[in-house]
Amino acid sequence: DKRLAKVDVIGSIAHARMLGKTRIIPKKDADAIVRGLQAILKDIESGKFKFDPAAEDVHSNIQDLLQKKIGKAAFRLHTARSRNDQIALDIRMYLRDETDDLIELITLLQKSILKFARQNMQVIIPGYTHLQVAQCVLLAHHVLAYVEGLERDKERLSDAYARIDRMPLGSCALSGTGLPIDREFVCKELGFAAVTDNSMDSVSDRDFIIEVLADLSILSVHLSRAAEDLILWSTKEFNFIDIDFSFCTGSSIMPHKKNPDVLELIRGSVGKVQGDLTSILVLMKGLPLSYNRDMQLDKPPLFSAIDTVKDVLEIFIALFQNIVVEKEAIAAKLFDESLFSVDIVEYLIKKGVPYRQAHDIVGNMVRKCLDKGRKISTLSEKELRAFSPLLTMDVMRILNAESSVRLKTSWGGTSPAGVQKQVSLWEKKINA
């Protein structure tokens, strides 16, 4: 828990100032405590602070160091405070900072993806459902889906921040205190939105940790799915992209291999994050109110999940700046005319054919072309009319990838004009 040292000292400075302001302890002792803690904080920020492994925890470590610096006045710091509300405060302060950092990293990843989208606005790829070729989409449209998911992740973390941002100090062990403390003063000193309202809940609540871990679990799923796309796209079978070798490794036996190991490790690390969430849920599910020492074990999974997700975000930010799009290889995959079957269905619908009938007509045409080893574009007008009198040679104009994506003009669709607008809207929002 040495990573809590800085917030522990900052919280203690606010507490000491409150004790002096309310005259619960002599003003000169409060001033001495603040000066001593400020000196310790300076050492922490400069990297000079040494965590003592013999100390019970970081709180004891700081208390012992303060006593060495200022003498007996240090014994007054723990007045009107318990380790229970102290650690609740520390974790909330720590999580406020980490949540801000996570949101910033997600934003940087969104910017990296948007830059990639902007650079590849003209690239059309086969889209997939069930991992089977479905319809044409713009590559930019595909990666904008990542941006959307990441935005929801930011929203969830922002929502969690509102519940983290409550000041528990003054709850003491579980019942509050009879001393005339000023919780609102400490709240303002530390920049919290409000104080907590129930002392028992204040020291025993870890919902805010569970919520952050749940948010990180969802975020990690989004990152894992993006990693899976990139892994597939980098295979010889897809050959959509080439990932820079700095994110890949070779084989110990096969000289030709270029394995996307970093992406595979990202995909595997998601299990750790989800395991961290499960660990806290199981830890908390059987605990009676209020504080129990089991809760000391909430920190390792929390720290682990945050570290893992931050590492993955930083890797993805760099990775999207080092992807080469294999445009010629992608273009060769767009000659599959099954990609345009829905466009033909909609062509017939626009001519008044009911959807189910149009679907059956095109399905019949596609099957017969497959049976005869022919492409739809090779059919004569007579052959087209055999499937439907409303099918004429002008249908050939939509049997290409460019026309296919241009037709998808519904809001949120993959038309170039729509995607261009979406990219511009996202750039404006992200850079605001």
Catalytic residue at 251? yes
C-alpha distances out from residue 260 to 230, 266, 305, Å: 9, 10, 23
Could you write out the DSSP letters of every residue in 16-76? HHHHHHTTSS-HHHHHHHHHHHHHHHHHHHHT-----TTSSSHHHHHHHHHHHHHGGGGGG
Catalytic residue at 222? no
Catalytic residue among 130, 256, 380, 410: 130
Catalytic residue among 60, 158, 175, 251: 251
Q: Give dist(CA 192, CA 80) in Å, integer.
A: 19
107: buried, middle or exposed (CB in 10 Å: 19+, 13-18, 0-12)?
Answer: middle
Residue 367 CB: number of other CB atoms within 10 A? 10
The answer to whether residues 284 and 207 touch, using CB atoms and an 8 Å cutoff, is no
Q: Identify the CA nearest to 144 among candidates 432, 431, 428, 419.
A: 419
* Eight-state DSSP code of residue 297: G
Q: Give dist(CA 165, CA 50) in Å, integer.
A: 29
Q: Give dist(CA 36, CA 391) in Å, integer.
A: 86
Q: Give dist(CA 62, CA 314) in Å, integer.
A: 32
Q: Give dist(CA 34, CA 28) in Å, integer.
A: 10
Tokens coding 241: 């992209």
Q: β-pairing, 132-138 with 124-129?
A: antiparallel
Bridge partners for 179 per DSSP: none
Instruction: Spell out a b/e string for 171-206, using b for 16 or more CB atoms within 10 Å of the CB, else e.
Output: bbbbebbeeebbbebbbebbebeebbeebebbbbbb
372: buried, middle or exposed (CB in 10 Å: 19+, 13-18, 0-12)?
Answer: exposed
Bridge partners for 7 per DSSP: none
Q: Give dist(CA 261, CA 24) in Å, integer.
A: 59
The answer to whether residues 272 and 305 touch, using CB atoms and an 8 Å cutoff, is yes
What is the set of active-site residues?
130, 251
